[in-house]
Amino acid sequence: MRRAVLLGATLAVTAGPAIAQEVSVLVGGVQARYADSVSGTAGLLSLRLSGSSPNVAGVIDAGFSKFVSGEWVTQASSYGTAVLGLGRAVSLGMGAGGDVNYTEGGLWSSEASAGPLVAIASGTLFATLGASVGNVRSIADSSFSITTVTARLRQDFPGGFALSGGVVGIAADTLKYAEVTLEVAHSGARTRLSAFGGLRTGDLSDDPWGQAQIEFYVTPRTTIEAAAGRYPTDLAGFTDGLFATVGVRLGISRPTRRLDRARPPVMVELLESGRVRITLSFPGTAQRLEIAGDWNGWVPLPLERRGRDSWSVELALPPGIHRYSLVVDGATWTVPEGVPTQPDDFGGQVALLVVR
Amino acid sequence: MKPVTGLLIAALVAASTAHPMRAQQVSIREQLIARGAPAQFAEQVAAIVAASEAEALPTEPLVSKALEGWAKRGRVPLDRVIAVLNQTQAGLRVGREVVLGAGFDPPPGAVVAAAAGALGRGIGRDDVREIISVSPAPDAAATGLTVAAALAAQGLDRAAAVKAVRDAFRGGRTPDEVLEFPSAVTGLRAGGESMSDVARRILEGGGLPMLGQGGMGGQAGRPHGVPGSQPGQGAGKKKGQTNKP
């Protein structure tokens, strides 16, 4: 069995670049303390394959853990979505996912589910609604169906902050329960910090749980990942527990940093009035900041300071790509860092503002 | 800027916006003079705009470029502005010819302007025609060409820029979604990918990620990489708990 696992891992690493755009390996360690007071320390080797195309995205994680006491455990999980745009802000699609756990000695569990989803985007607010049906095979050798209904919301804020929350209703044969989760995240130039917590009520109610994670991007292909916290009991029969992990993720075919974590420091919100609120991050010592663009004949309009480095303005802008510049203290024409730009034909740059 | 001057400019801008085809051309001279531009410069700009109108070329790119050049006069000599306008006008002529060749007769001004912008960023005539041909509507063609030009201006390989837009339209993406591509490229670059990585991603068929995508997932559980139990010791249920149906 061990030889088969190693062979599989070798094949995955070798064939990974052919089937996925991003392939990375995580090498690290795990310290876990389970609800029945058993503790374990293990080394971890995990492989991630992920990819996305215009309408399809997916990720597969497969890991092998070996306890210092000698036993080993393998795990694999996957999730994928396929969506089709229905209009300006709505997409309809399917999601499918699953996981498998196999423990030395023959103890194993699995879960697989799939179902439709609707994604709605409005400015920096992103919502998904979905449902799925599937099957769970528990470590107690029982098999039962599972149905979930999920609603999630995410709001992005200037400066790389994001707040997301969700509600999941779950019916698994005779069990019915609901979970509420909340996550706060910050994506910086070299780091991503996140805190995630949840609460469960119903037949599988549990104490609240929470986890914190940090990713530090050492190089484009090297990330240090660390996480710690508490996780809840699951349907497969595993108890809740405490954990701490630390490891180094090495990108094989792509940088390890996730694609959606580096957000341009400009937020565009469509307001109910039909106008657009632009909020941008502009660190520095500017006392006055103005924005001028092709929508109004390049007349500078003042931005209002919202925080130490945050400025905003409301404008009447139609959908499209607009060219603009910032005017600092009435004198210096410049563009924000980290936004799409192009030459202005006059020897400088203009920024591109996308309004959908 | 003095408040009175600002109000006057705002009024002129509003007037030109209300009657874009006529008032913009009529008022470009007045707009520039109201902003303090020398009469000779304003006359030169007005002449270029009038000549373009006579050739049925879109004048909005010229008006905008003239106002931008004047606004940045602190670092841009006025003769440079005139040179850029002449260059833009020449590009519009070529753009009109290419759009006509793609089957638009008369060619929509927005598409001509976008084609000129794309050609000006080094995108070939055949590629411009191809983007127009796969676009679901003239407005979409203008968006697609503008996005391709923006991607090329960001440093993306031109073939990859064209492929991104072409494949997106062929794949059923809307112009709104295509508009996200420049920001997506910026996000990838900020995420550590080189521009050649981004280009390779597109050329290999990976496309560009949609910002804001994701977020479904299932119920909460044990993080990946954390074993559920130590073999022979930890597997089982919490005391007093029944989680097996």
Residue-wise pLDDT tens digits, A130-171: 899 999 998 888 899 999 998 888 787 766 678 888 899 999
- The 3-state secondary structure of B183-198, one letter per residue: HHHHHHHHCCCCHHHH
Q: Check A260 against B168: CB less than 8 A apart.
A: no
Residues within 8 A of A (CB atoms), B 207-226 only: 207-226
| B106 cis-preceded (ω within 30 degrees of 0) | yes
Q: What pLDDT score does B191 carry?
A: 63
Residue of A71, A48, A45, A79 whose CA lies nearest to A61: A48
Q: What pLDDT score does B226 carry?
A: 79
Residue numbers in B near A170 (CB within 8 A):
219
d(CA B180, CA B191): 16
Q: Check A117 against B212: CB less than 8 A apart.
A: no
Q: How far is CA B197 from the centre of its chain?
A: 21
Give the ipTM.
0.72
Q: What percent of chain B has pLDDT over 70?
A: 72
**Is the Cα dihedral B173, B176, B181, B183 positive or negative?**
negative
Phi-psi region of B81 (alpha: psi -120 to 50; beta: other; left: phi over 0): alpha
Q: What pLDDT score does B212 carry?
A: 36
What average pLDDT does chain B have?
A: 78
Residue of A146, A152, A148 whose CA lies nearest to A118: A152
User: Would you call B174 helix, strand, or coil by DSSP?
Assistant: coil
Query: What element of type H or E holds A48?
Result: strand A39-52
Q: Select from B226, B233, B237, B239 the residue whose CB has the most chain A CBs within 10 Å, as the one to mutate to test that interface.
A: B226
Interval A165-194: pLDDT, tens? 889 999 988 889 999 989 888 876 567 888
Q: What tokens were used for A148?
A: 């979930």
Residues within 8 A of B (CB atoms), A 60-99 only: 61, 63, 65, 67, 69, 71-73, 75, 77, 79, 81, 83-85, 87-89, 95, 97
Band of pLDDT at residue B78, cut at 50, 70 and 90: very high
Residue of A188, A154, A266 whose CA lies nearest to B214: A154
Instruction: Please tell me the number of Cα atoms within 13 Å of A314 on its side-chain side.
Output: 6
Query: What element of type H or E holds A121?
Result: strand A107-122
d(CA B197, CA A352): 22
Q: Are A204 and A138 in contact (CB under 8 A)?
A: no
d(CA A235, CA A239): 9
Alpha carbon of B167: minimum distance to chain A alpha carbons (Å): 8
Q: A263 pLDDT exceeds 80?
A: no
d(CA A8, CA B71): 63
d(CA B152, CA B164): 11
Interchain contact A198–B (C-beta under 8 A): yes
Gyration radius of chain B's alpha carbons? 26
Q: Which of B10, B84, B234 sits opposite A36 (nearest CB)?
A: B234
For chain A, how many helices (H) and strands (E)?
1, 24
Residue of A76, A73, A117 whose CA lies nearest to A98: A76
pTM beyond 0.90: the answer is: no
Alpha carbon of A273: minimum distance to chain B alpha carbons (Å): 19
Q: What pLDDT score does A11 carry?
A: 36
Q: Which one-letter amino acid corresponds to residue A200?
A: R
Q: Which of B211, B213, B231 sits opposite A104 (nearest CB)?
A: B231
Q: Are A297 and B31 in contact (CB under 8 A)?
A: yes
Q: Which of B16, B205, B213 sits opposite A260 (nearest CB)?
A: B213
Alpha carbon of B228: minimum distance to chain A alpha carbons (Å): 6
Q: A345 pLDDT exceeds 60?
A: yes
Q: Are A214 and A15 in contact (CB under 8 A)?
A: no
Cα of first residue to Cα of last residue in chain A, in angstroms, is 53
Interchain contact B3–A (C-beta under 8 A): no
Unique residue bearing structure tokens 């879960």: A111
Q: Which of B167, B180, B234 sits opposite A34 (nearest CB)?
A: B234
Cα of first residue to Cα of last residue in chain B, in angstroms, is 74
Interchain contact A300–B (C-beta under 8 A): yes
CA distance readout (Å), A247 to A45, A76, A190 = 9, 18, 16
Q: What tokens were used for A302?
A: 């003042």
| Crossing angle of the two packed helices B181-190 and B195-203, in degrees rounded to 10 | 130
